[in-house]
Amino acid sequence: MATEVKIPAMGESISSGILAAWHVQDGDYVEKDQALYELETDKITSEASAEVAGIISLKVAVDDEVDIAQVVATIDTSAAPKSERPSDVSDSGSGSDSAPEVAAPTPSKVDPVATLSPAAHKAAEETGVDVTQLAGTGKDGRVTKSDILAAAAAPASTAATPAPAAVAPATPKAAPVAVDPSTRETRKKMSPLRRKIAERLVTATQECALLTTFNEVDMSSVMKLRKQHQEKFVERHGIKLGFMSFFTKAVTHALQAVPAVNARIEGNEIVTQHFYDIGVAVGTDKGLMVPTIRDCDQKGFAEIEQDILGYAKAARDGKIQMSDLEGGVFTISNGGIYGSMLSTPIINYPQPAILGLHNITERAVVVNGEIVIRPMMYLALSYDHRLIDGKEAVTFLNKVKDAIEDPSRLLFGI
């Protein structure tokens, strides 16, 4: 009995995807719950597992576009694993039904001269290359024009007899070098996720009045707190205290203080949001994903760190769900982990703003009239100027800066 392997439904907005990889080969015996394939859509990349055990027959190839509910393979549940199948060959001497051994045919040697194409024959005459000394790269070992031109361009043998000293050697005419276009560039079809990212970025730049404002933040207090409480934090929660939880709480604090940043435009209406679901950008091999940390105003540092770690792992493993990527009101993007000093991030449309974090570097700054060395980070807030005025943007960014430089503000909500 054959069981069909179909592309499952993945949300109302997803109707198709690209079968990015098969984890099994045609004719393999697969176990129940074994990973079969990887599917890329314009939202997520996910894996599918076998619902039954048996011999699998693949119906589509890698990089094929497939629709929801399309049959991509069948599994023969009546077939046994190879190790349990009876031998196809009888033991020697077991009877007259044994099939005689047939010797493999010996391939005939290709005559390099007789099999030359007209173009290759002309190239051989012009270059003087002895085609009988070449190993052909064409079908059935045939010598091609490229083989001849490559041989002509190769350095002459050192065993050649030098010309007499009294006679100036003739300068040989440079033979054209064959260039394989496939070695100079490669072409690959854009994945649905990359196409969607490109589409959203273009939409953001075309639909919004983008503006970026900058500030810098002294990371001394946060770094001191982390160092002071890291050991106890790990002991209690089983996870390290990172910078992202501080910035997530700081952004939540700033959104509460400046409600205009926690809004969006829909047609001719401004929709103000009264919840604090913060998106955290995660870089993966497939592209950028932005899982959403829900209700950040109600969560502690440990819960936020757990959510960020779990979503990042799921995104990189291709196991993140559609619901994990929806509904954010604001995004934080940390380019500092890649060494970025400064950037102007593009908003995650239709969200109104995004905060870009950058690398931490020790710089000379003036504190209380004295020049001191402090670990500093540049902050960049890109926002939709149609909705957010400069005063509100600067106030929001200052709230984030104040909360990071004095984390006790987060405790007292000031």
Per residue in 145-163, pLDDT tens?
Answer: 667 777 777 654 444 444 4
Strand, helix or coil for residue 270: strand
Q: Are 209 and 349 in contact (CB under 8 A)?
A: no
Mean pLDDT of 171-177: 61
- Annotated active-site residue 389? The verdict is yes
Which of 9-18, 276-285, 361-370 bottoms out in mean pLDDT, i.e. has the lowest? 9-18
Looking at residue 160, its pLDDT comes to 43
User: How far is the C-alpha of 337 from the C-alpha of 246, rounded, in Å?
Assistant: 16
Q: How far apart are CA 377 and CA 355, in angstroms?
A: 13
Most confident of 45-49, 96-100, 124-128, 304-308: 304-308
Give the model confidence (pLDDT) of 378-413 as tens digits.
999 999 999 999 999 999 999 999 999 999 888 877
Q: Does the pLDDT of residue 98 top 50, yes or no?
A: no
- Residue 263 φ/ψ, nearest 5 degrees: -145, 175
Q: Would you state the pLDDT for residue 78?
A: 82
Query: Is residue 248's pLDDT more than 60?
Result: yes
CA–CA gap between residue 37 and residue 19 (Å, rounded): 7
Longest Cα–Cα distance in the chain: 104
Taking residues 116-132, what's their average pLDDT?
Answer: 70
What is the model's pTM? Answer: 0.64
Q: What band does 276 get if pLDDT is binned at 50, 70 and 90?
A: very high
**Hey, what amino acid is at 246?**
F
Whether residue 259 has pLDDT greater than 90: yes
Catalytic one among 63, 67, 389, 406?
389
Distances (CA, A) of 60 to 10, 26, 36: 19, 10, 13
Q: Which helix (H) or strand (E) holds 278?
A: strand 278-280
How far is 351 from 277, CA to CA, in rounded Å? 11
84 pLDDT band (50/70/90 cuts)? low
pLDDT at 272: 94
Q: Is the pLDDT of residue 103 over 90?
A: no
The predicted pLDDT at position 412 comes to 74
- Does the annotation mark 385 as catalytic? yes
Average pLDDT over the chain reads 82
Give the closest residue to 238 by CA, choosing from 302, 310, 314: 302
pLDDT > 90 fraction of the chain, expressed in percent and rounded: 40
Kindly list the structural domains of the chain, giving each domain's residue range(s) and its CATH number in brackets, ordered by start.
Answer: 2-81 (2.40.50.100), 192-412 (3.30.559.10)
